[in-house]
A and B are shown apart, each in its own frame.
With several copies, the nearest count.
Chain A
């Protein structure tokens, strides 16, 4: 989705803008991490990693150590990410073939993977590849590999669908991408961990109450003792 779409949509939503969600997720990425960012809002995370932290980005199609899109006109057709968009290279980059690239994923070498979601369940189940609708042509890409292989799988998603339906459930109704794989969810309204006993509310967006979150979440919400308000810059 383009940035234009993002900001337009953001004005219609309560809580954090999409850029603020990405910013919040970026704060949890540690110095030296190997990170794979999914298409869409997750891609925006890279722009908000705090100064002083050096992060190495992996893309499934076989590049490690890539940077932001090059300036217009400097794009190279052979230098793209898994979303098929142009990227640049940072110092320490490398190229490798597809089997080696997924060996990095499946072998547990990627520290953090951040993806979008259609549904997340309180046990960490993730559905983000198919609604399972009759007649839909299924397409999965690397999502199942990423959630099965990355050391930490985190999700960025709006708390509700565009129709106002919940996306956080006791159980996913859509076909799963992986079982028990998600460790943390960043929404426009909250930061929620998957704990032993289900969703644990860690942070609320400014102005959002626990009661509102309970109403908008289709599963029990355990409020962490140290639950705080998300502090985000204007973005």
Chain B
């Protein structure tokens, strides 16, 4: 019988290795898989390449992973929080690498990676410094930049509910990068508020089909990044 559920977040992230590429879902605190990230901090893997739209906030979740020195390289579109100086300081000190990617190109590169597309062309960033060093090409008189698909060893994603097959649904704008990161990672791990019974998710409503998911772990009462930050929390 197929059962992708794990007993704990610790078990779910146990096999992540030094040097792995890890996609982490979420946009702001919506969809941020804080418990999985904290389990990854505890687990100890380092030298990670992390793909997320941002670089986290406060000293919890992704920001805590970065603060713990576990991230060698960030691939993101906006490496700044509203008030946060963590990433800029590490970056200026040469302690972390940055690959800056326009947000839509980042999303499409992840989707391409998941869909077996090694490269595609986009008009985004054509004629800008972010296209420097990249191939460009004209199609029908317009200049496009060639961008490569992105894949990952792992994806850490937060969804609302999933079944034992890994079929998942999300909550509003917390959907964001989750579905495409599950597609693009060899091992996609989703934390969900509830693992539901067979048939509880209507096949018409499935957002991430289970084929894209390898592990599901229930986190009944996930922490909220903004609340942790308001409390001055710092992980570990």
Chain A positions within 8 Å of B, measured between CB atoms, are: 31-32, 34, 54, 56, 58-65, 76-82, 84, 89, 91-110, 130, 132, 135, 137-145, 148-149, 175-179
Mask, B124-146, CB within 8 Å of A = 1, is 11111110000000000000000
| B215 adjacent to chain A (CB < 8 Å) | no
Q: How far is the CA of A98 from the CA of B110 in the complex (A)?
A: 10
Contact B27 A98 (CB under 8 A): yes
Is B180 at the interface (CB under 8 A from chain A)? yes
Among candidates B53, B88, B173, B209, residue contacting A79 with C-beta atoms closer than 8 Å:
B173
- Known contacts A64-B211, A99-B111, A141-B77; decide if A79 and B172 are in contact (CB<8 Å): yes
Question: Beyond A106-B123, A137-B88, A148-B126, is A80–B80 a contact (Cβ under 8 Å)?
Answer: no
A106 touches B108 (CB 8 A): yes
Contacts A91-B165, A102-B115 known; 16 new A-B pairs at CB < 8 A: A60-B104, A76-B172, A77-B30, A77-B226, A78-B171, A78-B172, A81-B173, A96-B175, A97-B178, A106-B122, A137-B87, A139-B100, A140-B130, A145-B103, A148-B123, A148-B125
Chain B residues with Cβ below 8 Å from A135 are 92
Q: Is B212 an interface residue (CB 8 A)?
A: yes
> Which A residues are CB-close (under 8 A) to B165?
56, 65, 91-92
- Nearest CB on A from B190, distance (A): 14
Known: A62-B173, A77-B226. A94 touches B125 (CB 8 A): no
B154 at the interface (CB under 8 A from A): no
For A179, what are the chain B residues with a Cβ–Cβ distance below 8 Å? 126-128
The answer to the question of B33 belonging to the interface, with a C-beta cut-off of 8 Å to chain A, is no
Residues of chain B contacted by A89 (CB below 8 angstroms): 203
29 of the cross-chain contacts (CB-CB < 8 Å) are A54-B1, A59-B173, A61-B27, A62-B176, A78-B174, A80-B173, A82-B27, A92-B165, A92-B167, A94-B203, A95-B203, A96-B175, A97-B107, A102-B104, A102-B108, A106-B115, A106-B116, A135-B92, A137-B92, A138-B79, A138-B98, A139-B100, A140-B103, A144-B124, A144-B125, A148-B124, A149-B123, A176-B127, A178-B127
Q: Nearest residue in A to B100 (C-beta to C-beta)?
A: A138
User: Is B179 an interface residue when CB atoms closer than 8 A count as contact?
Assistant: yes
Q: Is the CB–CB distance between A142 and B206 below 8 Å?
A: no
Q: Is the CB of B130 within 8 A of A98?
A: no
Chain B interface (Cβ < 8 Å from any Cβ of A): 1-2, 27-31, 53, 77-80, 82, 87-88, 91-92, 98, 100-105, 107-108, 110-111, 113-117, 122-130, 163-165, 167, 170-180, 183, 198-199, 203-204, 206-207, 209-212, 224, 226
B163 nearest CB neighbor, chain A only: A92
Chain B residue with minimal CB distance to A127? Answer: B128
A99–B108 CB distance below 8 A: yes
Contact among B115, B123, B173 for A103, CB-based, below 8 A: B115
Contacts of B117 in A (CB 8 A): 106
User: Which B residue sits closest to A144, measured CB to CB?
Assistant: B102
Min Cβ gap A78→B in Å is: 4
Contact partner, B206, options A78, A94, A149, Cβ 8 Å: A94
Alpha-carbon distance A10/B199, docked complex (angstroms): 39
- The answer to whether B28 and A84 touch across the interface, beta carbons within 8 angstroms, is yes
Instruction: Give the residues in chain A near B198, CB-CB below 8 Å.
Output: 91-92
For A94, list chain B residues within 8 Å (CB): 167, 203, 206, 209-210
Is the pair B128, A177 in contact by a Cβ cutoff of 8 Å? Answer: yes
